[in-house]
Amino acid sequence: EGKPQIGTATLKTNQSTQQGETKKEEEVKTIVTWNMNSITVRYKNKEKWNAFMSFFNRINADVLCFQEVRLPAMNLDNVKNAKDGKRDRGRVKNTDQKSQVDFEIMEQILKKDFHNYNAYFSLANIKYSGQLVLIKRSIPVKSIRYNLSFDADPSEHHEEGRVIVAEFSNFFLLSTYTPNNGFDLIKFERRRLFDEQLKEFVSVLKNKKKNLIWTGDLNIAPEDIDLSHPAEFRRMKKGNVPKEFVGQPGCTDFERKNFRGILSAGDLIDSYRHLAKLRGNKGGAVKGEPAKGEPLKVTPGKVTGDINDNIYTWRCPFLMGKSCNKAMRIDHFIVSRDFMPNVESVDIHGYSVFHNNFYGSDHCPVILRLRGGTGSDPPSGGRSETTSG
């Protein structure tokens, strides 16, 4: 008992409650989101994985939402082309020698590190995209959905594993790995369609008077204050594209307009920015300490904040060159307006161009705490926005 459900030659989504001794039901109090940029690559670096597990054990999260886990879905036929054929997107592939290695790593992770959690996978055909949501076994889950349409079968997955929805007693949790806008018309259209589906999804929940916490790598920097180099980011482009598509993916006028439309349709709030503004501090402040200096001001051509500061969630990897020493805040907790009073704090756990707290990824974990939660404060360096001064 206490182990994740591991089937013969399959690593399965575990949607059952733990049998045996009955434990007191709990409510969600702490949620962590993190774009891992490959869970197996992270695990293979033992030093960084152990550092992450130390962080995780200290936080005592009830729910973990991992994006870009890069695990292939189980194939259900003998089609040789990895991109073709039928898939069970809730199971990790292990039908060949290469996939067996990743499968065994996931067995170790779920048995050893997350044995008290139920695992919910949504995976692409190949080692691309994909999500994993882990929920404590002691927390009842009313329903799980893998798509953005309430008219669709809840078990029908997004083909790239970009959507996982968990319904709890007092709110819905939506974890997305939102498609990058890219630099071409095909990517622009892909993002537009995804945003349209999101807008409809949050609108339905609003009309049903259901609270929502939307988290994940949303690939959007809502304001220039969320960019380390706004002027430079905002003028990037490849080829001749309409003005609304000019800019680094994540901060174009096109994406920001769509994002505002989603927030409006669902009556949603960017929780980190909302709490920061309540404190009179656009950039954020370390929990328990006063805001440092004046609020950050956006000046064309100027850096909005120290690249080493922990007000960003993504930093351009060093392997892309010194010219890419830049950062964005694109990983979020978006919350229903009526549910915001329940949010105690939002922490961005990561700073430095050297990714000291990123555990090998180019993204850092972000933590949301609801009132009445347990668990320690983030380790030194975690940026927190709280509802109290």
The residues, any chain, with a CB within 8 Å of residue 14's CB and separated by 6 or more, are 4, 5, 118, 119, 120
Choose among 183, 328, 178: nearest CA to 242. 183
Q: Are 146 and 42 in contact (CB under 8 A)?
A: no
Would you list which residues are annotated within the binding site for Mg(2+)? 37, 68, 217, 219, 362-363
Choose among 138, 139, 156: nearest CA to 147. 156
Clarify whether 217 is annotated catalytic: yes
Would you list which residues are annotated within the binding site? 37, 68, 217, 219, 362-363
Clarify whether 177 is annotated catalytic: yes
HSE-up (13 A, CA, CB side) for residue 165: 22
Among residues 62, 102, 217, 224, the one annotated as catalytic is 217
Sheet with 143-145, edge to edge strand ranges: 143-145, 163-167, 172-177, 212-217, 331-336, 268-270
Task: Please report, for residues 96, 108, 151, 362, the alpha-carbon distance to residue 122 in angstroms, rounded to integers and kept in the order given.
Answer: 20, 19, 19, 21
Choose among 26, 244, 57, 236: nearest CA to 138. 26
Among residues 43, 117, 120, 177, the one annotated as catalytic is 177
Interaxial angle between packed helices 253-266 and 185-207, expressed in degrees from 0 to 180 and rounded to the nearest 10: 10
Single-letter code of the amino acid located at 127? K
Per DSSP, the three-state class of 230 is helix
Q: Are 59 and 367 in contact (CB under 8 A)?
A: yes
Q: Give the β-pairing of 143-145 and 212-217.
A: unpaired
Looking at the annotation, which residues are catalytic? Answer: 177, 217, 363
